[in-house]
Amino acid sequence: MKAGKTGKIFVFSAPSGAGKTTILDHLRVTVPNLVYSISATTRRPRAGEIDGRHYFFLSVEEFKGRIEAGDFAEWAVVHNNYYGTPRSFIDQVIQSGRHIVMDIDVFGKKQFDKVYPDAIGVLILPPGMEELEKRLRNRSSDDEETISIRLKNAVTEIEFARSQGKYEYTIVNDDLERAKRETEELIRSLTVA
Ligand code: ADP
Ligand code: 5GP
């Protein structure tokens, strides 16, 4: 990386259950030197999730205070919980010339584009709705009501991403190994010094 060059921002979006976390976990291991943004959320931690590592888990009051303070580059209510992207961390990372990977829902990404118009969008899609439902059930991390909210929202999210989203790349996660490889190769090709 040349001195003084700003790092790139990669924004990954996907309907819940499409496999984004699994694919990003692969990217963490196979493509070093990427920095991962940690979002804030008011949703409860899932088993194994650690505060400050997977998310900053906040109360609704704390989250609203952070909105008031202008701390977020974007925020949105997703599946009935607040999610937001802390801004100062992104600026620090890209100004130091490192690349940052973000995980933002399709509506939040639209807001994010106003602040960071050069961010590169990567949309991860499931091969179909039946498969998406199967994956959400197999994951066993959410109750029935949550699964049904996420499935209903998936239809709206995919439609919104296709009609109004700015996604330079789309990865269909049918075969997981292929989707992992495709993502890895994409990010490698875009981050060669
Ligand atoms: P997201 O982060 O997009 O909500 P996850 O990465 O948690 O999705 O994946 C949802 C579930 O689907 C997980 O149980 C995961 O192991 C599984 N999964 C991911 N990709 C595939 C795939 N290509 N085929 C089958 N199951 C998959
Ligand atoms: P989950 O609860 O499954 O971790 O994430 C649910 C949804 O919230 C996903 O679509 C994910 O992209 C989105 N999300 C995670 N972090 C942020 C964020 O900082 N801002 C916005 N707008 N959405 C986020």
pLDDT digit string (tens) for 42-90? Answer: 999 988 999 999 999 999 999 999 999 999 999 999 889 999 999 999 9
Q: Please tell me the total number of residues recorded for the chain in this structure.
A: 193
Asked if residue 85 lies in contact with residue 74, where contact means CB atoms within 8 angstroms, the answer is: yes
What distance in angstroms lies between residue 71's CA and the mean position of ligand 1's atoms?
31
Q: Report DSSP state, residue 1.
A: -
Q: What is the CA radius of gyration of the chain?
A: 16
Least confident of 66-80, 137-151, 164-178: 137-151
Q: Whose CA is nearest to atom 13 of ligand 1?
A: 139
Give residue-wise pLDDT tens across range 86-109.
999 999 999 999 999 999 999 999
CB 28 within 8 A of CB 94: no
Torsion sign, CA atoms 95, 96, 100, 102: negative
CB of 157 shorter than 6 A to ligand 2? no
> How many Cα atoms are found within 13 Å in the side-chain-facing hemisphere of 109?
29
Q: Which residues line ligand 1 (CB under 6 A)?
A: 14, 16-22, 135, 138-139, 173, 176
Give the Å distance between the CA of 156 and the centre of ligand 2.
15
- Cβ–ligand 2 distance for 105 under 6 Å, the answer yes
Name which residue sits closest to atom 10 of ligand 2, judged by CA.
105
Task: Tell which residue, 27, 2, 6, 3, has the closest CA to residue 124.
Answer: 27
How is domain 9-188 classified at the architecture level of CATH?
3-Layer(aba) Sandwich (3.40)
Degrees, nearest 5: CA angle 128-131-136? 125
Q: What's this model's pTM, rounded to 2 decimal places?
A: 0.92
Q: Whose CA is nearest to atom 24 of ligand 2?
A: 104
